[in-house]
C-alpha cells in the first residue's frame, strides 16, 4: 500500500490544526496517511489542542511542554522515531496548504524520476492563513545566495524556467527543511542530529541525504504552499531569551552557537572535537562528491556560478574554472529608503498591510549577491529604514533593491538605486 508518514513539528503554532485538516481534506486517500507530530505547547494557548485526534490511530503525537523544547531539529529527531515502516514520508512544518490530490501527485512525481531513492523538495509557494489563498502557481527551485559568517548557506526560491512545458521533476542541489517527500526508510537512514538547532538544517539535509544515495529533485508543479512570515506565531527563540524562564536553563543563542560549530565540523570547515556518528556523512557518496555535484566548496565558502544561477545539476566545473581560487572582494555599504518609506506607509494605509520588506543587492546580470527579508518588528512605524550590509563576492554589486510585499500578496513600491563603487 502507498502509505505516507507525515512529519510535523509544531511550536505554539495556531496554524497546526488548519494544516492537519487541509492535509486530510485534500488527500485522495486520507486513510493511507499517518502523522508523526511533536506538539510543543504552552498551557495558555487554549487554541493549541489536538484532543480531537487523540484516539485516531493515524496520529502518533509526542507532547512536550514549551519550556522543555530544544528546538526544531531536536523535535524532528523525536518524530523520526514514530515511523513504523510506511512506504513514503513527507516532512513539513506546521503551516501549510496542499494541492487537491497531493498524495497521488507526489507519488507519481517520485516514480517519474526513475531513480532508486528519489527526494522531491523545494521552497514552496506562499499562502495567506487569513484567507487560505494560495499564491504562486509557478514551482520553485532553490538557489544559494551566500555563506553566512557562521558557515551556513542562505537560500532563496527562484521560479523554474519554462515550467509549463515540463512533464516531470528536475534535478536539484539542495533540500528544503519545510518540504521534502521521499522513501519512508529515510527516517531510519538519515537520523536527525538533535544537537542542531534551526539554521543549518537544510544544508545538513542536502549533504547527508545525497551522501546516503538520495537523488534530489524539484517538482515541476506546485503541490505544497508554506507560510513564511511567521506573523502571529511565537517562535522558540522568542521564549528562550533568558535562562531563568525555561527548564533547560539555557538560551536559544547558546544552543544555536553549539549547533553551528557542530555543523561546520560536519561540512569539513573546522575540527571542533565532536563525535558526529550516527549523524555524519553517509557512505555511498562522499562530501567531495556532493561539493562537485552541487557547486559548493564549504571550506573555502565558495559557490560555483552554476549553483548561483540555478543551472540543472550536476555542476559543470569547467564553466567557472577559477571559482575556488579567484579572489573575493569584501563589500560594505548601507541601503537607505528613509525618504521613500513615508510614501510606502501612506499608500498602504498601515504597516499592518506589509507582509515583509525585501532588501537585496544585485550584480549587472541581475544575480542576487545579498538579500535580507525584514519582518514586522523591524520595519513597523519606520523602525528600520536603513540596512548596513557586508558580504564577500567575486561579482561587483551595481544595484540595491528595496521591495515591499503586502498582505494582499502583491509586490509594490520597488525602489532601485545604483551602487557607486
Q: What is the pLDDT of residue 374?
A: 85
User: How many domains would you assign to the chain?
Assistant: 2
For position 382, what pLDDT does the model report?
63
C-alpha distance from residue 216 to each of 113, 176, 285, 313, 416 (Å): 10, 10, 13, 10, 35
CA distances from 301 to 267, 318, 328, 338 (A): 10, 19, 11, 33
Helices 72-80 and 201-211 cross at an angle (nearest 10°) of 40
Structural domain boundaries enclosing 182: 1-320
- Same domain as 263, residue 148: yes
Q: Do residues 174 and 302 share a domain?
A: yes
Paired with 411 in beta bridges are 405
Cα separation, 340 vs 417, whole angstroms:
12
One domain for residues 49 and 32: yes
Same domain, 409 and 311: no
Where is the domain boundary, 291, 320, 349?
320
Same-domain check for residues 412 and 272: no
Q: What is the pLDDT of residue 380?
A: 63
* The predicted structure's pLDDT at residue 231: 75
Per-residue pLDDT of the chain (421 residues; tens, 9 = 90+): 799 999 999 999 999 999 999 999 999 999 999 999 999 999 999 999 999 999 999 999 999 999 999 999 999 999 999 999 999 999 999 999 999 999 999 999 999 999 999 999 999 999 989 889 898 899 999 999 989 888 999 999 999 999 999 999 999 999 999 999 999 999 999 999 999 999 899 999 999 999 999 999 999 999 999 998 877 789 999 999 999 989 999 999 999 999 999 999 999 999 999 999 999 999 999 999 999 999 999 999 999 999 999 999 999 988 888 888 888 899 999 999 989 888 888 888 777 778 888 999 999 998 889 998 887 666 666 678 899 998 888 889 999 999 988 877 788 889 999 998 6
> Is the same domain home to 255 and 176?
yes
333 shares its domain with 314: no
Residues 316 and 348 placed together within one structural domain of the fold: no
How many alpha carbons fall within 13 Å on the CB side of residue 397?
29
Nearest to 117 by CA among 180, 167, 178: 180
End of a domain among 320, 353, 384? 320
**CATH number for the domain harbouring residue 340:** 2.60.40
The answer to whether the beta carbons of residues 278 and 308 sit under 8 Å apart is: no
Are residues 265 and 403 located together in one domain of the fold? no
Query: What whole-number distance in Å separates Cα of residue 11 and Cα of residue 236?
Result: 7
- Write the CATH number for 139: 3.90.550.10
Tell me the three cell numbers of residue 406. 503586502
* Residue 253 sits in the same domain as residue 280: yes
Please indicate, yes or no, whether residues 353 and 399 belong to a single structural domain of this protein: yes
State how far the Cα of 42 lies from the Cα of 238, in Å rounded to an integer: 13
Q: Are 271 and 359 contained in the same domain?
A: no
Residue 53 to residues 41, 274, 349, 407, 421, Cα–Cα distance (Å): 15, 40, 42, 32, 60
Name residue, grid cell 569539513: 268
Amino acid at each position: 500500500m502507498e502509505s505516507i508518514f507525515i512529519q510535523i513539528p509544531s511550536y505554539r503554532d495556531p496554524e497546526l490544526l488548519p494544516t492537519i485538516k487541509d492535509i486530510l481534506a485534500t488527500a485522495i486517500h486520507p486513510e493511507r496517511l499517518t502523522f508523526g507530530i511533536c506538539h510543543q505547547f504552552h498551557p495558555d494557548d487554549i487554541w493549541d489542542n489536538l484532543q480531537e485526534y487523540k484516539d485516531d490511530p493515524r496520529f502518533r503525537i509526542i507532547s512536550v511542554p514549551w519550556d522543555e523544547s530544544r528546538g526544531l531539529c531536536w523535535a524532528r529527531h523525536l518524530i523520526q522515531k514514530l515511523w513504523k515502516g510506511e512506504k513514503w514520508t513527507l516532512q513539513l512544518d506546521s503551516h501549510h496548504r496542499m494541492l487537491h490530490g497531493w498524495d497521488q501527485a507526489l507519488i507519481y512525481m517520485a516514480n517519474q524520476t526513475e531513480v532508486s531513492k528519489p527526494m522531491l523538495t523545494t521552497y514552496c509557494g506562499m499562502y495567506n492563513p487569513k484567507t487560505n489563498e494560495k499564491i504562486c502557481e509557478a514551482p520553485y527551485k532553490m538557489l544559494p545566495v551566500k555563506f553566512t559568517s557562521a558557515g551556513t548557506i542562505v537560500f532563496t526560491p527562484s521560479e523554474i524556467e519554462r515550467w509549463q512545458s515540463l512533464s516531470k521533476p528536475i534535478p536539484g542541489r539542495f533540500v528544503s527543511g519545510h518540504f521534502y517527500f521521499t522513501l519512508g526508510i529515510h527516517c531510519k537512514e538519515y537520523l536527525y542530529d538533535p544537537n542542531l538547532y534551526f539554521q543549518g538544517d537544510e544544508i545538513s539535509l542536502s549533504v547527508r541525504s545525497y551522501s546516503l544515495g538520495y537523488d534530489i529533485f524539484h517538482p515541476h508543479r506546485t503541490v505544497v504552499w508554506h507560510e513564511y512570515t511567521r506573523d502571529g506565531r511565537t517562535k522558540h527563540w522568542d521564549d528562550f531569551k533568558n535562562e531563568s524562564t525555561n527548564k533547560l536553563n539555557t538560551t536559544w543563542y547558546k544552543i544555536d552557537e553549539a549547533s553551528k560549530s557542530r555543523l561546520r565540523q560536519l561540512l569539513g570547515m573546522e575540527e571542533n572535537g565532536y563525535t558526529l556518528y550516527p549523524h555524519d556523512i553517509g557512505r555511498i557518496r562522499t562530501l567531495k562528491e556532493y561539493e562537485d555535484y552541487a557547486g559548493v566548496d564549504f571550506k573555502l565558502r565558495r559557490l560555483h556560478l552554476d549553483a548561483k544561477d540555478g543551472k540543472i545539476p550536476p555542476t559543470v566545473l569547467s564553466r567557472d574554472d577559477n571559482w575556488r581560487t579567484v579572489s573575493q572582494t569584501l563589500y560594505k555599504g548601507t541601503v537607505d529608503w528613509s525618504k521613500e518609506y513615508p510614501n510606502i506607509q501612506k499608500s498602504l494605509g498601515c504597516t499592518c498591510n506589509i507582509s515583509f520588506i525585501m532588501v537585496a543587492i544585485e550584480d549587472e546580470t541581475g544575480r542576487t549577491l545579498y538579500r535580507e527579508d525584514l519582518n514586522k518588528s523591524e520595519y513597523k512605524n519606520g523602525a528600520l529604514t536603513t540596512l548596513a550590509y557586508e558580504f564577500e563576492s567575486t561579482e561587483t554589486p551595481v544595484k540595491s533593491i528595496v521591495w515591499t510585499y503586502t498582505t494582499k500578496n502583491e509586490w509594490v513600491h520597488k525602489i532601485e538605486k545604483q551602487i557607486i563603487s
